[in-house]
């Protein structure tokens, strides 16, 4: 059978994107949203912090693109349904989704108390909270986004999932590692399922990134962590954006994960 060919109209132009960025009010999400606006895209930032979203909107005010904000909890189905519909209405369409929202509830699976010997356990609440936001949230957002694109005939479209090096299994992160590993598996599955509709998928797995979480660490703790990184430094949010941008722009990329971790191995 002869190979099929399609004349590409690519790379995808960033200024043609109408994108949702979840968790876009701070950290990496804010960097993604601002970089999209810097290139002329239309963006809807979804987050729970109205104040942080207002700060992000102010930073985007003088950029070529347009930034909207919507309060949404990605772990709640009704919120996600409203987000997809509302963002599409605000932006006059929707063709990109960056699943960035995430939380941590770190702890060892079990740990004997040094004084009492009592066995401390990771709580079910800590497990459920992380799985809800970091795995169920991307599932709901991707499902509703894909349904919108298929229903409206939006093609091409792209989903970018933000995973983590922790997907390989990081001590003290049973819940987070499980969620981020599952997200990469879903990226592959969705790539297979959604290609027929012109929807591509991709994941980015950052290592240590220079965000407020790491900036709040004691210097000696951070220095110890960075000994495991061959490049001996954190990544900038701009370096993670480069991987996100590649996925958004490259029409022949789908179902795969890009590691941006400074060469670190877990």
* Residues that are catalytic: 176
Q: What is the dihedral angle through the alpha carbons of 70, 73, 74, 79, rounded to the nearest 10 degrees?
A: -70
**What are phi and psi for residue 114, nearest 5 degrees?**
-65, -30
Residue 163 corresponds to which tokens in the numbers above? 């995973």
Give the residue from 219, 210, 189 showing the smallest Cα distance to 201: 189
Q: What is the dihedral angle through the alpha carbons of 13, 34, 96, 131, rounded to the nearest 10 degrees?
A: 150
Buried-state track 230-244, b at ≥16 Cβ within 10 A, e below 16: eeeebbebeebbebb
**What are phi and psi for residue 98, nearest 5 degrees?**
-115, 105
Partnered with residue 258 across adjacent β-strands are 204
């Amino acid at each position: 059978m002869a190979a099929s060919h399609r004349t590409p109209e690519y790379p995808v132009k960033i200024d043609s994107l109408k994108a949702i960025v979840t968790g876009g009010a701070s950290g990496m999400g804010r960097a993604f949203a601002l970089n999209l606006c810097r290139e002329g895209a239309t963006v809807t930032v979804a987050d729970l912090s109205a104040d942080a979203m207002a700060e992000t909107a102010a930073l985007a005010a003088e950029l070529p693109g347009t930034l909207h904000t919507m309060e949404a909890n990605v772990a709640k189905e009704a919120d996600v349904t409203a987000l997809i519909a509302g963002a599409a209405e605000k932006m006059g369409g929707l063709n990109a989704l960056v699943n960035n929202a995430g939380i941590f509830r770190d702890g060892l699976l079990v740990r004997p108390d040094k004084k009492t010997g009592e066995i401390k356990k990771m709580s079910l609440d800590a497990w459920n909270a992380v799985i809800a936001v970091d795995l169920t949230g991307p599932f709901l957002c991707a499902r509703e986004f894909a349904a919108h694109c298929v229903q409206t005939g939006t093609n091409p479209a792209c989903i970018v999932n933000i995973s983590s090096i922790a997907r390989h299994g990081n001590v003290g992160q049973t819940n987070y590692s499980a969620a981020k590993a599952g997200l990469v598996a879903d990226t592959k599955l969705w790539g297979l399922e959604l290609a027929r509709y012109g929807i591509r998928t991709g994941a980015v797995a950052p290592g240590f990134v220079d965000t407020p979480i790491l900036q709040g660490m004691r210097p000696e703790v951070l220095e110890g962590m960075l000994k495991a990184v061959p490049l001996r430094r954190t990544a900038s949010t701009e370096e993670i954006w480069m991987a996100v941008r590649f996925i958004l722009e490259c029409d022949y990329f789908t179902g795969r994960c890009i590691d941006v971790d400074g060469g670190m191995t877990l």
